[in-house]
Amino acid sequence: MRVRLWGTALTLLLTATALPAGTAVATTAGRAPRPPAPLPLARLFDNTAISDNSGPGEADFDGAGHSLSAQDLAAAGWPPGSALTIDGARLEWPRGTSGAADNVIADGQTVSLRGRGDALTFLVAGTGGNGEGVTGNGTVRYRDGSRSGFELTAPDWRSGLLSTKVVALPHINGPDGQLGGPARLYAVSVPLRAGQEVASVVLPRRAEGAGALHVFAVSVRDTGQGRTGSWAASTAGYRAVGPWQDRTLRLVVHAGAGGPRARIRLANTFAAAPVDIGAASVAVRGSGAAADAAPVPLTFRRGHTGTRIPAGAEAFSDPVDFTVPADTDLLVSIHLPGTVAAAPVHQEATQQSYLSAPGSGNLTGDRDGGAFPGTMSIWPFLTGVDVGSGPGSIVALGDSITDGVKSTSGTNRRWPDVLARRFQAQDRYPRYGVINHGISANRIVTDRYQGDGVSTDTGGVSAQHRLERDVLAQPSARTVVVFEGINDVRWGTSADEVIAGLRAIARRAHERGLQVVAATIAPCEGYTDCLPAVDERRQAVNAFLRGHDGVFDAVLDFDAVLRDPQRPQRMLPVYDSGDHLHPGDAGLKALGDSVDLAALVPVRR
């Protein structure tokens, strides 16, 4: 039976039904019951979400006999006991076979957990919440006896947003047969108190008559670990490629911050199937596809030459004895032994990379580059290069202007590149890494790419929906610079909606201890759809930013840098790339040079 304890004194009528594991009751009248002893999450599992297609009745996830397909999970690379790295957190998918309890319905249980970090990451889904997800408040208990609260929301497994899900499965098992999906699972992170060691987590209580908040896994995420982001790019969409089979990609990226003990990050964001990585390497670029020395092999999972990345997950290579020089091109080579017909990509690389011939096999160790006849202007799979020292990272969250669209390809003249060189060339402040998370066509409020399936749209999910992945989960993120909004106001989003989105980004980043800096929106008169009404919305957002009243730690007036003093609704011609929306090389340099470095240096709160 389920026993609920209310108040400090109570009388219990016990029946022959056993109490759930971990339930505590008072043994002396008038005394408050002892809190239940913390238990590992798996020992608290009380619901079965996964069934075999041949026996759908063995699970009942939602109270109506519906469940997740074990076969669909396996096809996504999520078999029982899978190790999943999501948004920088390592999570373990339940080990039980289909038909066994595999999740807990949150109702005040105390979960034993250890570690220090910046966030708790939960793997969750909601059921029975009228399709709107389920929210509850929990508590983190620390080793020093202190506590902090958190709010956890589990989006609905059948109707939650696809743009924020980790994985979508094509079917739902039901008592009357299989239904069309997708079924969705979500990773949700909540902040931890900086520097404190977690002792246990009290899950939210279930409100009477509310839906169920299901927890499959939870872990402490530590994105610090003394690392600095040297280069990064956001997954902008999931598009058809190749198909590539038994080929090696040689991707050219530009390191900002330098340092020892390099590692790379590969992401299978938005995917429906796992991808196999046969081998990988890193080298300093010589010219073209050639390395200036033999590429250094990378390993995964403590020494394996390759790895499998489940759908929606990511993989970090083991740190390797390779020193990344600051302000230098690198070659990151990835062997794909299987067939890859679609991939998560960053579309606007503004950089030429290389591809080996079909069926050429593992060429990650090739030095001279002659085996890479193919070229491409996208970055598939690769989302980061980190170094094992340094003060941390400044994240530029933006759209096409941050992405460097219309800058000269292969010359690294994006404004974050300019800013990175400035930090590396000075001694007054820490030499932060500056990592670029701009996506062409991105918006603050609206998803361009809807977050699921193969698509030709590579404008990414909204800045709010990618904030966790692209900012909060980045290595040792210290400051975020938000420079977005022109695409929102151009495509009809009201100034109030943009302002609300900017406020939400600032609030969430501040909760994680980041410095938050915003930049005003640049003018675009002369571009096809930059009509007077667009400029009115732009000016309204900029007025809010300039008088932000403490919402941000600082504001960069990029509008003032780029605008024509004689006609402030348009860009100064010397900075214009020619399309009147995107600055050219000179305009991007002016933006990067205009930033007061002191404004980006975190202030202790």
Burial of 8 (0-12, 13-18, 19+ CB in 10 A): exposed
Closest to 487 in 3D by CA, of 522, 437, 452, 451: 522
**What local confidence, expressed as pLDDT, does residue 209 receive?**
85
Beta-sheet strand order (sheet of 477-483):
433-438, 393-398, 477-483, 515-519, 554-556
The residue with tokens 């506590």 is 147
Whether a cis peptide bond, with omega within 30° of 0, leads into 243 is: yes
Contact status, residue 546 vs residue 585, Cβ threshold 8 Å: no
Q: Name the pTM for this structure.
A: 0.93
pLDDT at 225: 72
Question: What pLDDT sits at residue 6?
Answer: 29
Task: Confirm if 213 and 204 have CB atoms less than 8 A apart.
Answer: yes
pLDDT tens sequence across 254-291: 999 999 999 999 999 999 999 999 999 999 999 999 99
Cis amide prior to 182 (ω within 30 degrees): yes
Side-chain half-sphere CA neighbours of 316 within 13 A: 25
Torsion of CA 483, 484, 489, 492, to 10 degrees: -170
| Distance in angstroms (rounded) separating the CA atoms of residues 176 and 66 | 9
Asked if residues 188 and 119 have their Cβ atoms less than 8 Å apart, the reply is no
Delineate the domains of the chain, giving CATH numbers in brackets.
1-37 (no CATH), 41-221 (no CATH), 237-385 (2.60.120), 391-605 (3.40.50.1110)
Strand runs (DSSP E) across 487-578, as ranges? 515-519, 554-556, 563-564, 567-571
Q: What is the DSSP string of 292-346?
A: SSPPEEE-BTTTBS-EEE-TT-EEEBPPBS-PBPTTEEEEEEEEEEEEEEEEEEE
Q: Which of 152, 176, 166 is nearest to 67 (CA)?
A: 176
What stretch of H or E contains 374? strand 374-376
Tokens encoding 592: 């990067």
Q: Please give the structure tokens belonging to residue 398.
A: 């933006």
Is residue 61 within 8 Å of 47, Cβ to Cβ?
yes
Radius of gyration of the chain (CA): 25
Residues of the chain with pLDDT under 50: 1-30, 605
Here the tokens at position 457 are 């749209």
Is residue 523 within 8 A of residue 487, CB to CB? The reply is: no
